[in-house]
């Protein structure tokens, strides 16, 4: 199999390519249109990490993972995370990456590289909630030496998804290695999330509707309704996300706090709403991982999950 010779990435000073380079803490988006451009966007980024002995994490579906395994010089040193299960829910992805980054830094990693692709309608998923996840990624992993590159296929991603990518990533990288800083980037505290997408499931009567429940009552309701509808691991992530959203709404939002739960075959949607200002991390980050700075509040949070296919 032919391997590519990877050039030094254009956006990084040559003095950084050695093992003594300072840690890069950066959250950027990579735009591509073809398989070749996808490879050009991801492979050099990963190869530089491999050659420097850095942890490299790739979160893609199986098709893209196979493509990357064929091009990487030493794929055995790379952590491949199944995109379908990794990106089941935004809160689950935050928790999974947090645990992974914590383990790598505890083992002495001075730099971690990660690249992946969040769900949207262009790749067979739903983008609901993932714009808030992308915005939160700019602060939630500040304590870790993480250089993340989120890839977006501009040929298939809807315009609103690409607009959200511009507003949640300080820098856009192209397959050529060129990069530009986005004038439309919004800090997490100022980020204007996309309005909730209409879902056919929400057009039906909710299975449960609660007003001012405790976090424990919300957890019990989600667990009871979701049992048998979702895999246990996915349901656990849903319970955590809803519990955090309700706790935050009760503590920092305005009454009343409402919780509505819809279920369908292999699906669940939970919407938590209050009248307070929006907390950019509500429903995404458990309290121990929450950065100390930043405004609090709530507003409206939606947790959705489905059985991975």
Q: Is residue 5 part of a domain?
A: no
If DSSP states are collapsed to H, E and C, what string results for the chain? CCCCCCCCCCCCCHHHCCCCCCCCCEEEEEEECCHHHHHHHHHHHHHHHHHCCCCEEEEECHHHHHHHHHHCCCHHHCEEEEHHHHCCCHHHHHHHHHHHHHHHHHCCCCCEEEEECCCCHHHCCCCCCHHHHHHHCCCCCCCCCEEEEEEEECCCCCHHHHHHHHHHCCEEECCCCCEEECCCCCCHHHCCCCCCCCCHHHHCCCCEEEECCCHHHHHHHHHHHHECCECHHHHHHHHHHHHHHHHHHHHHCCCCCEEEEEEECCEEEEEEECCCCECCCCCCCCHHHCCCCCCCCECEEEEEEECCC
What's the structural domain count of the chain?
2
pLDDT at position 7 = 31
Which CATH number belongs to the domain containing residue 238 in this structure? 3.30.565.10
Q: Which of 190, 225, 251 is the last residue of a domain?
A: 190
Domain with 211, as residue range(s), is 200-306
pLDDT digits (tens, 9 = 90+) for 188-206: 989 999 987 668 888 899 9
* Res 277: pLDDT: 67
Task: Kindly state whether residue 1 falls inside one of the protein's structural domains.
Answer: no
Is the domain of 173 the same as that of 241? no
Which CATH number do you get for residue 115?
Answer: 3.40.50.300
Mark whether 53 and 100 lie in a shared domain. Answer: yes
Average pLDDT per consecutive 10 residues, the chain (309 residues; last block may be shorter): 31 41 90 95 97 96 93 95 85 92 96 97 92 94 95 97 97 93 91 82 92 95 91 89 88 89 90 78 62 45 61
In terms of domains, do 130 and 260 share one?
no
Confidence at residue 120, expressed as pLDDT on a 0 to 100 scale: 95
State residue 37's pLDDT score. Answer: 96
Q: Is residue 168 part of a domain?
A: yes
What number of CA atoms fall less than 13 Å from residue 92's CA on the CB side? 22
Out of 165, 190, 215, pick the residue that ends a domain: 190
Residues 178 and 258 both lie in one domain: no
Residue 13 domain-assigned (yes or no): no
Residue 139 domain-assigned (yes or no) = yes
Q: 58 and 186 share a domain?
A: yes
What is the structure's pLDDT at 176?
93
Where among 144, 159, 190 does a domain terminate? 190
Q: Classify residue 224: in a domain, yes or no.
A: yes
Q: Both 37 and 152 in a single domain?
A: yes
| pLDDT at residue 11, rounded to an integer | 38
Q: Are residues 34 and 170 in the same domain?
A: yes
44-88 pLDDT, tens digit per residue, is: 999 999 999 999 999 999 999 999 999 999 999 999 998 778 898
Both 56 and 159 in one domain: the answer is yes
Shared-domain flag, residues 176 and 239: no
Same domain, 47 and 128: yes
The pTM is what?
A: 0.70
């Amino acid at each position: 199999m032919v391997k590519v010779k990877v050039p030094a990435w254009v956006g990084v000073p040559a003095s950084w390519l050695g093992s003594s380079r300072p840690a890069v803490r950066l959250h950027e988006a990579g735009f591509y249109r073809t398989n070749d451009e996808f490879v050009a966007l991801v492979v050099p980024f990963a190869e530089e990490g491999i050659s420097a002995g850095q942890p490299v994490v790739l979160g893609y579906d199986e098709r893209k993972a196979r493509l990357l395994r064929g091009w990487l010089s030493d794929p055995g040193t790379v952590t491949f995370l199944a995109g379908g299960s990794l990106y089941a829910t935004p809160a689950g992805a935050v928790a999974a990456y947090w645990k992974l980054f914590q383990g790598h830094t505890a083992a002495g990693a001075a730099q971690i590289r990660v690249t992946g692709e969040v769900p949207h309608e262009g790749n067979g998923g739903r983008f609901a909630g993932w714009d808030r996840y992308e915005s939160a990624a700019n602060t939630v992993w500040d304590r870790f030496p993480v250089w993340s590159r989120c890839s977006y296929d501009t040929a298939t991603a809807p315009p609103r998804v690409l607009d959200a990518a511009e507003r949640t990533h300080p820098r856009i990288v192209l397959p050529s290695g060129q990069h530009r800083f986005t004038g439309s980037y919004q800090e997490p505290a100022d980020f204007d999330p996309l309005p909730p997408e209409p879902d056919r499931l929400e057009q039906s009567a909710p299975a449960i509707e609660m007003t001012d429940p405790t976090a424990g009552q919300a957890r019990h309701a989600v667990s009871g309704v979701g049992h048998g509808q979702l895999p246990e691991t996915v349901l656990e992530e849903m319970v955590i996300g809803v519990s955090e959203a309700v706790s935050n709404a009760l503590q920092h939002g305005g009454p009343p706090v409402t919780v509505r739960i819809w279920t369908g075959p292999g699906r669940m949607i939970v919407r938590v709403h209050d009248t307070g200002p929006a907390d950019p991390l509500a429903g995404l980050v458990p309290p121990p991982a929450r950065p100390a700075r930043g405004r609090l509040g709530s507003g409206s949070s939606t947790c959705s999950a489905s059985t991975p296919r």
